[in-house]
Structure 1
Amino acid sequence: MSNQSHMFVRNATGLVRELTAFDAFNLVFAAILIPVGISQALNFGAAAFPGANVALAFILGATLLLIGFGAVYIYFTMAMPRSGGDYVWVSRTLSPFLGFVVNVTLTFVFVNWVSFNFTTMMTLFGPAAGYVMDWSPNVIQWFNVPVNQFIVATILTILFTLLMIPGTKFVAKFMRILFIVVWAGMALWFIGLLVTPNDVFVKNFIEITKTNPTQIIELAKNSGFSVPTGLNWGMTILAMLWAFQNLTGFQWSGYFAGELKNVRRTVVISVLGGLIVGAILYAAGSFLVYRTVGFELFSSLSYIGINMPDKMPSNVTYILPSLTKFFALPTIIKDLIALTFMLSIIWWTPAGFMLGTRNLFAWAFDNLAPSWVADVHPTFHTPVNATIIMGIFIEILNFLNIYGGLSNYLINIIAVMALAFVVVGLAAVIFPYKRKDLYDNAPEVVRSKIGGIPVMTIAGLITMLSWSFVLIAAFSTSQFGLSVTPIAMIEAFSVPVLASIWYFVATSIRKRQGIDISKVFSEIPPE
């Protein structure tokens, strides 16, 4: 294209395809963050959806609905293997405006997880480790002091910003080491669940806490909580919200597709591998928790701990990793497991950082942000400016999260995420028809059909329907079991509004500079 230099910042991105299939899998597997996700899904799921079988919810969500969602990201990545993922795909298929707003929204959600997980490590996993390891109350309380939380979050943000600068190969090595360490610890957790029968768990629980489980169960019942004798299908279906929220991340390979080796093979391995392995481990872990702890006891602990913590006996805790204390394992193994849950936050964080920087890079490459944001360091082959900006942004989120109650404002943000994914599904539905030039030049697997209908279109329809379910469910019950209010939704949907303003201001500035930005979106970015 002769005028390509006027359309894009450069004729080449400067990024290098350095990530192997395992590196890509490790990034998306870290993104679904099973240690944190299973704690949230089981604890909050039990409190928000009484009688729900979270293990079954993960199986149903992954096998029936998320397969189509994964196929959309695989096909789009094969057709347009560039950094930025759904930003590039939606902007080239539906409209630049929608592509930008959808991607800014998803980037905000996912990058927020970096800050939220720093707080999770301090408020939940730190005290849980202290409970298992018998730390003094004063040490455990240290984790709950806001200024301490902010100091730790700030130090981690600085360290991870510096970690991301040397490049993807360096980050990949770091994450390989953490993968081994974290999953050695999680393997011990699974073993602990397997070798601890319910009667042994209950015996240890009584001996250590001096509290009989029947007291906890009665306390929950007297507070309005009741566990049905059979499977509650309605609550189990609603609990699939957690399957969608916690498995989301398995499709992230598309966001850094510009740095994948053998991209067509790698994206299939990483996306499907992340979904299948993640769903199996989530379901198996949930089932084993129910078996070892007892469905009624665990549900009652979660209900009291989340909804009325002041009624919980002082020597009892509901947080999932803290229950390791009652496993039939040596003390040192239980201590290692508790520390593993904390360490998992360190393992996952580079994935969130990388997504944010690569999406910011893609916006700048398309002239929707200053061109210097897309500068790639000639030695490190990484967008250093974008990385520094992302570090500053995460530090702002740390402050707002710890001192401004940001997580409370964004309690219904899963609805925003769901709506964004519905738009991505729509892009997949019409891509074979609207962008026939790109579709016809895509790999053969992308052009496969069933009954004359492109498989990509079918996958897009499944994605639209499944995330529409999440959207509707989010309006009927939020992820933490609180009722949805208009103000909560206005706060959650403020990000797409701000993204819309950003888009129109940026395009107006480029127009005054004599740049016809609409031409940028007629082609996919160069390599």
Structure 2
Amino acid sequence: MEKSHLFIRESSGLIKQVNFLDVIMLNIGNMSAGLALYTSITPYVQPGSNLLIATLIGFLFALPQAYIYTYFVTKIPRTGGDYVWISRTLNGAIGTVMALSLMIESLAYFALTAFFASSAIQTVFSEIGSLNSNQALINLGNVLTQPIYSFILGFVIFAIIIGINIVKAKWGYSLISVLGVISLATTIIAMGVILANVNNFVTKASNIITLMGGNVTSYSGPTFSLSATLFMLPFLALYTFPWMQAGPAVAAEIKGKNSLKYNVFISLILTFIIVMAGYGVMYYAGGYSFTTAQYINNGFIYTFWTVAIGLSSNQVLEWIIGLGLILWEVFILAYGAIVFSRYIFAMAFDRVLPSFLTNVTKSGSPIFTHLLDLGATAFFLGVIVFLGSQNALALYGATVLGALYFLVVSIAGIMHGVKYKNIILIPLGAISAGYFAYLTYVSATNPDFGFVNSNGMPNPITLAFVIGTLVFSALVFIASYIYNKRKGVDLNMIYKEIPPE
């Protein structure tokens, strides 16, 4: 078959309209530094652990992965990013199964984020209501956490985001940039508020904990434990730093070589600075013992954000910081809408998924991939309501698929390095592969990540979801291979070529 007829068409139809700020903010949303300072990491703090050192180690181990992504995105700047690299370097089936599995896992994560965004809203409403004796605000926050209202709220927010992207692709990227700038600005404001209250921080923070229903505790553990610090590393590694594939996934739409070359490293460094500064001001203001004690015993109410809101002493400032926390949640949904659509688009362009998913509007929006995203996310939101929110939390355990995916990307880096005799890519790929092999093991064996229960047995919901996702993705590829073979198209030939742009 002629090379020109392998793919759906000669041009993707996507437009180069993503500027430097857009792609940086897209990556920062992917790494979700603001939520690392909320409740995704600190509730799991161990006696003697130091989050600053754990963050530094996590950042250093992310550097080899960042090099791999930077190398590939500059050599092969295609829609779908690492899906294209894996499928062309290793095998089409491996690339498809891993990328499709990651997207299904991402759908569950986005649905959970949309559903539990109400918890961030409830936290903000409840705290500001309590600080200002506004019972109506507290009641409203409590109402929004009820399953049906969480579903409606999450769906409406996501539907608006999808609608913006469908109307004009550039608007979707502009939304990312606006959300990113506001989220970062409010995070910096929150840091300033905490630093402005250093002199009486412990007293005020203790009052905040009591106000929110917690009990202030003291600390008698070690001031530092390497093992406890390393215990925290997987939380940072699995929830923050490795998620750097957003920019590369839209590489075909990025304007300028510098944007391609530097977006991954700049986003990683900025995320590192945000996380380090956030934890740093908490340690500096409260001291190690007080801060660690509250993280251990009040980890879900004593956070960077709740402390900053409580210390504001100004209702306008309280709302600005509270809005920042809420917008970090929306930020994730906004980047997710774009990234999911581009992965699905890339697989459809390779004929693995139905060709209508490659249809693009005049403004460069892959309309049907966005509609698929909205429908699938609505389905997962419904599943969460049907299962019950506590059971739905088990879906977070599918993080193991993310760790496994990045392991495969690292292996692709090694194989590419061997094939083209790249003496830098080989060792860095090996380090990255070893790291993600470890993280895959941890995410599959540590109960805190949800894949296994405290008794060491897999959570049945998580296990069924993970296995079902992998099996479904494999069946999609097999069915597509057979279908295309009957039409005279060999998918193996497609994966020997780079998609045209």
- Asked if TM exceeds 0.5, the reply is yes
Question: Structure 1's 235 and 207: CA in aligned 2 closer, same or farther, altered over 3 A?
Answer: closer
Cα deviations across residues 131-190 of structure 1 (Å, max 9, x unaligned)? 134342422211221111011112112111101113332222223333332222212101
Between the aligned residues of both structures, percent identity stands at: 19
Counterpart Cα distance in 2 of 1:370 and 1:213: 52
Q: What does residue 256 of structure 1 align with?
A: 250
Report the Cα offset of residue 329 of structure 1: 4.5
Mapped to 2, the partners of 1:151 and 1:213 lie a distance apart of 28
Q: Contact 2:73–2:261 (CA<8 Å) still a contact in 1?
A: no
Tell me if 1:395 matches 2:369: no
The answer to whether the 8 Å contact 1:428/1:460 transfers is yes
Partner Cα separation in structure 1 for residue 36 and residue 101 of structure 2: 21
Q: Which residue of 1 aligns with 2:484?
A: 510
2:498 pairs with 1:524: yes
Residue in 1 that maps onto 2:350? 366
Equivalent residues of 2:194, 2:281 under 8 A apart: yes
Distance 1:319 1:123 in 2: 14
Hey, what's the Cα distance between the residues in 2 that align with 1:281 and 1:206? 25
Which range is displaced more, 425-434 or 174-183?
174-183
In the alignment, the residues of structure 1 paired with residue 499 and residue 33 of structure 2 have an alpha-carbon distance, to the nearest angstrom, of 34
1:453 Cα deviation after fit: 5.0
Query: Contact between 2:118 and 2:150, CA under 8 Å: does it hold in 1?
Result: yes
- Of 410, 413, 432, which residue of structure 2 is paired with 1:425? 410
Q: Tell me if the contact between 1:253 and 1:270 (Cα under 8 Å) persists in the aligned partners.
A: yes
| Change in 2 beyond 3 A, CA 1:211/1:427 | closer
**Within-5 A mapping of 1:403-442:** 403-404=386-387, 405=389, 407-434=392-419, 436=420
CA distance in 1, matches of 2:214, 2:357: 59
Distance in 1, Cα, partners of 2:196 & 2:76:
47
Distance 1:261 1:227, change over 3 A: farther
Using a 3 Å threshold, how does the CA distance of structure 1 residues 399 and 292 change in structure 2: closer, same or farther? Answer: farther
Matched, 1:456 2:425: yes
Name the SS for the 2:49 alignment partner.
Answer: coil
1:462 partner letter:
I
Match of 1:465 in 2: 434
AA matched with 1:522:
K
AA of the residue aligned to 1:237: L
C-alpha offsets along residues 207-255 of structure 1, whole Å, 9 cap, x if unaligned?
A: 566689995326xxxxxxx762221211211211122121233342111
Rounded Cα–Cα distance in structure 2 between residues aligned with 1:239 and 1:145: 32
Distance 2:338 2:304 in 1: 29
Deviates more, 1:203-212 or 1:108-117: 203-212
With over 3 angstroms needed to count, the CA separation of the structure-2 counterparts of 1:207 and 1:170, relative to structure 1, is: closer
Matches within 5 A, 1:70-469: 70-134=66-130, 135-136=134-135, 137-197=138-198, 200-206=200-206, 216-217=216-217, 228-244=221-237, 245-262=239-256, 264-305=257-298, 317-327=301-311, 329-377=313-361, 379-404=362-387, 405=389, 407-434=392-419, 436=420, 453-469=422-438
Work out which of the residue numbers 40, 47, 53 in structure 2 matches 1:56: 53
SS for the counterpart of 2:79 is coil
Asked if 2 retains the 8 angstrom alpha-carbon contact of 1:105 and 1:499, the reply is yes
- Letter of the 1:230 partner, please give it: T
Structure 1, unaligned stretches of length 5 or more? 219-225, 310-316, 437-451
Distance 1:305 1:105, change over 3 A: farther
What do the CA deviations read for 1:425-465 (whole angstroms, capped 9, x no partner)? 1111011444x5xxxxxxxxxxxxxxx75212222112101
| Deviation for aligned residue 1:44 | 2.7
Aligned partner letter, 2:178: I
Offset of 1:520 from its aligned partner? 0.6
- Shift of residue 325 of structure 1? 4.1
Task: Determine whether 1:498 maps to 2:492.
Answer: no
The equivalent of 2:32 in structure 1 is 33
TM-score w.r.t. length of structure 1: 0.86
Deviation at 1:424, TM superposition (A): 0.9
SS where residue 230 of structure 1 aligns?
coil
Quickly say closer, same or farther: Cα 1:213–1:200, change in 2 above 3 A. Answer: farther
The alpha-carbon deviation at position 115 of structure 1 amounts to: 1.9
Aligned-partner residue type, residue 399 of structure 1: G
Kept after mapping to 2: 8 A contact 1:32/1:250: yes
Distance 2:124 2:356 in 1: 44
**Secondary structure of the equivalent of 1:273?**
helix
| Mapped contact 1:25–1:269 kept (Cα < 8 A) | no
Across the aligned residues of Structure 1 and Structure 2, the Cα RMSD in angstroms comes to: 2.6
- Once the 2 structures are TM-superposed, how far is the Cα of residue 75 of structure 1 from its aligned partner? 0.9
Unaligned runs of 5+ in 2: none
Code of the aligned partner of 1:464: A
| Cα distance in structure 1, aligned partners of 2:380 and 2:222 | 43
* Alignment pair present for 1:474 and 2:443: yes
Provide the aligned length of Structure 1 versus Structure 2: 488
- In the aligned structure 2, how far is the partner of 1:214 from the partner of 1:516? 62
Quote the Cα distance in structure 1 between the aligned partners of 2:378 and 2:413. Answer: 35
Match of 1:312 in 2: none
Deviates most, 153-162 or 110-119 = 110-119
Paired residues of 1:87 and 1:359 also in contact (CA < 8 A): yes
